Chain A
Amino acid sequence: DAKTTQPPSMDCAEGRAANLPCNHSTISGNEYVYWYRQIHSQGPQYIIHGLKNNETNEMASLIITEDRKSSTLILPHATLRDTAVYYCIVRPAYNGGNMLTFGGGTRLMVKP
């Protein structure tokens, strides 16, 4: 699976948009970009995933560059409850497996 690079930490003011970048320059054509987050003392929580088109759901938006070498997770109006470690993961499509390769993630701190 392709390797991802994320900044170790970021701050965001409450109510503002949080933009979390991820570099995945070695991604191949059949690999999806997944985002999970882990709030303290809980298991990881799925946020969103995409292949090449931008995606939006009730939690966030995912913007993938045209060359697919990087992506940005956007939390449009961050709240204190969004403070968590955010993981960007690249995973082959339809591999039928549950193996996700987690990196170090980005620790997002939302401040009042």
Chain B
Amino acid sequence: DAGVTQSPTHLIKTRGQQVTLRCSPISGHKSVSWYQQVLGQGPQFIFQYYEKEERGRGNFPDRFSARQFPNYSSELNVNALLLGDSALYLCASRGKGAGDEKLFFGSGTQLSVL
């Protein structure tokens, strides 16, 4: 079975531009979350979506937004990019069954803002 897939794997943007990152969860998983990982630090929670609704948001500015589609895939959008947005963006999915307490992460999208 395919794991969590993210696209693109690498992306280079300039300051002020907008970017869209994509994520497909594991088949059957309805919950998706996004994390930002700056070099040398642990991942930081950005958003969680379940059944197309936002269920949690971390301490990130309104420039960050996301949505989830009927097939449970998700997009993360970042507007007005800053140099500090350069990071690895990780998507994770989780099942809803009893005991499905663990997250499955994709390999991420490496975003560089110049």
Residues of A within 8 A of B (CB): 32, 34, 41-46, 49, 85, 87, 96-105
Contacts and interface: CB of A to CB of B under 8 A. Distances in A.
A99 B43 contact: no
Contacts of B44: 102
A100 B107 contact: no
Give the interface SS of chain A, mostly helix, strand, loop or mixed. Answer: loop
Interface residues on B, range: 20 to 34
B15 interface: no
Contact of B92 (A34, A98, A101, A105): A98
Interface in B16-72: 31-33, 41-45, 48, 55-56, 58
Contacts of A46: 102-104
A98 B31 contact: yes
B78 interface: no
Contacts of B104: 46
Given A43-B107, A45-B105, A98 B42 contact: no
B101 interface: yes
A44 B90 contact: yes
22 contacts: A41-B107, A42-B108, A43-B92, A43-B108, A44-B90, A44-B103, A44-B105, A46-B103, A85-B42, A97-B55, A98-B31, A98-B45, A98-B48, A98-B92, A98-B94, A98-B103, A99-B45, A99-B56, A100-B43, A100-B103, A103-B42, A104-B41
